[in-house]
Amino acid sequence: MSSEDYFLYFGIPRKYAIDQAELRKKFYALSRTLHPDLSTSYSEENDHRRISHHNNAYKTLSDPILRLRHILELEGVTALLEKQPASDFLFEMMEIGEEISEFTSDQGKKTDLEKRLQRMKQESDEKALKAVHRYDLGEGDALTLEQLADWYIQQRYLRRLTMTLRGSEEM
Protein backbone atom coordinates (compact mmCIF):
# COMPACT_ATOMS: atom_id res chain seq x y z
CA MET A 1 0.00 0.00 0.00
CA SER A 2 0.98 3.56 -0.48
CA SER A 3 1.49 6.09 2.27
CA GLU A 4 -0.43 8.60 0.16
CA ASP A 5 -3.80 9.53 1.60
CA TYR A 6 -6.32 8.12 -0.88
CA PHE A 7 -9.13 9.89 0.95
CA LEU A 8 -7.43 13.19 0.20
CA TYR A 9 -6.79 12.06 -3.39
CA PHE A 10 -10.55 11.61 -3.94
CA GLY A 11 -11.51 14.57 -1.76
CA ILE A 12 -13.57 12.58 0.74
CA PRO A 13 -13.37 12.56 4.55
CA ARG A 14 -10.97 10.07 6.14
CA LYS A 15 -13.33 7.66 7.84
CA TYR A 16 -14.26 4.02 7.61
CA ALA A 17 -17.92 4.48 6.68
CA ILE A 18 -17.68 6.20 3.32
CA ASP A 19 -20.33 6.94 0.73
CA GLN A 20 -19.55 4.38 -1.99
CA ALA A 21 -21.70 6.21 -4.56
CA GLU A 22 -19.76 9.43 -3.96
CA LEU A 23 -16.45 7.56 -4.22
CA ARG A 24 -17.52 5.93 -7.50
CA LYS A 25 -18.65 9.29 -8.90
CA LYS A 26 -15.31 10.91 -8.03
CA PHE A 27 -13.42 7.93 -9.43
CA TYR A 28 -15.13 8.24 -12.82
CA ALA A 29 -14.76 12.02 -12.88
CA LEU A 30 -11.02 11.73 -12.24
CA SER A 31 -10.77 8.81 -14.69
CA ARG A 32 -11.93 11.05 -17.50
CA THR A 33 -9.11 13.52 -16.78
CA LEU A 34 -6.56 10.69 -16.86
CA HIS A 35 -7.68 9.27 -20.20
CA PRO A 36 -4.64 9.14 -22.53
CA ASP A 37 -6.50 10.99 -25.30
CA LEU A 38 -7.16 13.89 -22.94
CA SER A 39 -3.76 13.88 -21.24
CA THR A 40 -1.36 16.78 -21.75
CA SER A 41 1.50 14.46 -20.84
CA TYR A 42 3.52 12.87 -23.60
CA SER A 43 4.89 10.07 -21.46
CA GLU A 44 3.11 6.78 -21.94
CA GLU A 45 4.90 5.39 -18.88
CA ASN A 46 3.81 8.33 -16.74
CA ASP A 47 0.21 7.99 -17.96
CA HIS A 48 0.24 4.29 -17.13
CA ARG A 49 1.65 4.99 -13.65
CA ARG A 50 -1.01 7.65 -12.95
CA ILE A 51 -3.84 5.38 -14.13
CA SER A 52 -2.48 2.47 -12.09
CA HIS A 53 -2.24 4.70 -9.01
CA HIS A 54 -5.78 5.95 -9.61
CA ASN A 55 -7.18 2.42 -9.92
CA ASN A 56 -5.29 1.25 -6.83
CA ALA A 57 -6.62 4.18 -4.80
CA TYR A 58 -10.18 3.30 -5.83
CA LYS A 59 -9.72 -0.42 -5.16
CA THR A 60 -8.30 0.34 -1.71
CA LEU A 61 -11.16 2.59 -0.64
CA SER A 62 -13.83 0.36 -2.23
CA ASP A 63 -12.78 -2.73 -0.28
CA PRO A 64 -13.66 -2.56 3.44
CA ILE A 65 -10.60 -4.52 4.58
CA LEU A 66 -8.15 -2.64 2.36
CA ARG A 67 -9.76 0.65 3.42
CA LEU A 68 -9.33 -0.26 7.09
CA ARG A 69 -5.68 -1.18 6.53
CA HIS A 70 -5.13 2.12 4.68
CA ILE A 71 -6.61 4.07 7.59
CA LEU A 72 -4.37 2.26 10.06
CA GLU A 73 -1.32 2.90 7.88
CA LEU A 74 -2.20 6.59 7.62
CA GLU A 75 -2.55 6.70 11.40
CA GLY A 76 0.97 5.27 11.72
CA VAL A 77 0.07 2.09 13.58
CA THR A 78 1.40 -0.48 11.12
CA ALA A 79 3.17 -2.36 13.94
CA LEU A 80 -0.29 -3.26 15.30
CA LEU A 81 -1.10 -4.96 11.99
CA GLU A 82 1.64 -7.54 12.52
CA LYS A 83 0.55 -8.79 15.92
CA GLN A 84 -1.07 -12.17 16.39
CA PRO A 85 -4.80 -12.33 16.98
CA ALA A 86 -6.15 -13.52 20.32
CA SER A 87 -5.23 -17.16 20.92
CA ASP A 88 -8.85 -18.37 21.07
CA PHE A 89 -9.59 -16.70 17.72
CA LEU A 90 -6.40 -18.09 16.18
CA PHE A 91 -7.21 -21.58 17.46
CA GLU A 92 -10.68 -21.41 15.92
CA MET A 93 -9.21 -20.22 12.60
CA MET A 94 -6.78 -23.14 12.58
CA GLU A 95 -9.62 -25.53 13.40
CA ILE A 96 -11.73 -24.22 10.53
CA GLY A 97 -8.71 -24.33 8.21
CA GLU A 98 -8.23 -28.01 9.05
CA GLU A 99 -11.92 -28.73 8.48
CA ILE A 100 -11.74 -27.03 5.08
CA SER A 101 -8.72 -29.09 4.05
CA GLU A 102 -10.37 -32.33 5.20
CA PHE A 103 -13.73 -32.14 3.48
CA THR A 104 -14.02 -33.13 -0.15
CA SER A 105 -17.30 -32.41 -1.86
CA ASP A 106 -19.69 -32.57 1.08
CA GLN A 107 -21.97 -29.62 0.27
CA GLY A 108 -23.64 -29.76 3.68
CA LYS A 109 -20.30 -29.47 5.46
CA LYS A 110 -19.30 -26.60 3.17
CA THR A 111 -22.56 -24.78 3.91
CA ASP A 112 -22.07 -25.27 7.66
CA LEU A 113 -18.54 -23.85 7.47
CA GLU A 114 -19.73 -20.87 5.39
CA LYS A 115 -22.42 -20.13 7.98
CA ARG A 116 -19.89 -20.44 10.81
CA LEU A 117 -17.48 -18.04 9.11
CA GLN A 118 -20.31 -15.61 8.35
CA ARG A 119 -21.45 -15.72 11.97
CA MET A 120 -17.90 -15.08 13.17
CA LYS A 121 -17.55 -12.15 10.78
CA GLN A 122 -20.82 -10.68 11.99
CA GLU A 123 -19.76 -11.05 15.65
CA SER A 124 -16.40 -9.45 14.86
CA ASP A 125 -18.12 -6.58 13.03
CA GLU A 126 -20.51 -5.99 15.94
CA LYS A 127 -17.62 -5.85 18.44
CA ALA A 128 -15.77 -3.33 16.28
CA LEU A 129 -18.77 -1.08 15.64
CA LYS A 130 -18.11 1.25 18.59
CA ALA A 131 -14.46 1.69 17.61
CA VAL A 132 -15.48 2.45 14.02
CA HIS A 133 -17.99 5.07 15.20
CA ARG A 134 -15.43 6.67 17.52
CA TYR A 135 -12.88 6.83 14.71
CA ASP A 136 -15.36 8.25 12.20
CA LEU A 137 -16.28 10.93 14.74
CA GLY A 138 -12.62 11.95 14.93
CA GLU A 139 -11.86 10.18 18.19
CA GLY A 140 -9.01 7.98 16.94
CA ASP A 141 -7.16 7.53 20.22
CA ALA A 142 -4.64 4.71 20.82
CA LEU A 143 -7.26 2.31 22.21
CA THR A 144 -9.59 2.88 19.26
CA LEU A 145 -6.77 2.32 16.77
CA GLU A 146 -5.75 -0.87 18.57
CA GLN A 147 -9.33 -2.14 18.44
CA LEU A 148 -9.50 -1.33 14.72
CA ALA A 149 -6.20 -3.15 14.14
CA ASP A 150 -7.52 -6.22 15.99
CA TRP A 151 -10.64 -6.10 13.84
CA TYR A 152 -8.54 -5.80 10.67
CA ILE A 153 -6.51 -8.87 11.63
CA GLN A 154 -9.67 -10.89 12.30
CA GLN A 155 -11.26 -9.76 9.04
CA ARG A 156 -8.16 -10.76 7.09
CA TYR A 157 -8.21 -14.28 8.57
CA LEU A 158 -11.95 -14.66 8.03
CA ARG A 159 -11.73 -13.47 4.42
CA ARG A 160 -8.84 -15.80 3.63
CA LEU A 161 -10.68 -18.83 5.02
CA THR A 162 -13.90 -17.86 3.24
CA MET A 163 -12.05 -17.54 -0.07
CA THR A 164 -10.29 -20.86 0.51
CA LEU A 165 -13.62 -22.50 1.25
CA ARG A 166 -15.07 -21.10 -1.95
CA GLY A 167 -12.05 -22.33 -3.89
CA SER A 168 -10.65 -18.91 -4.70
CA GLU A 169 -7.15 -17.56 -4.19
CA GLU A 170 -8.37 -13.94 -4.28
CA MET A 171 -7.83 -11.65 -1.32
pLDDT of residue 43 exceeding 70, the answer is no
Cα dist from 104 to 95, 109, 112, 167, whole Å: 16, 9, 14, 12
Tell me the three state secondary structure of residue 141. coil
pTM, two decimals, is 0.84
Confidence tier at 82 by pLDDT (50, 70, 90): confident
Neighbours of 12 (CB within 10 A): 15
Which is higher by pLDDT, 70 or 1?
70
- d(Cα 30, Cα 35) in Å, to the nearest integer? 9
pLDDT (mean) for 26-37: 84
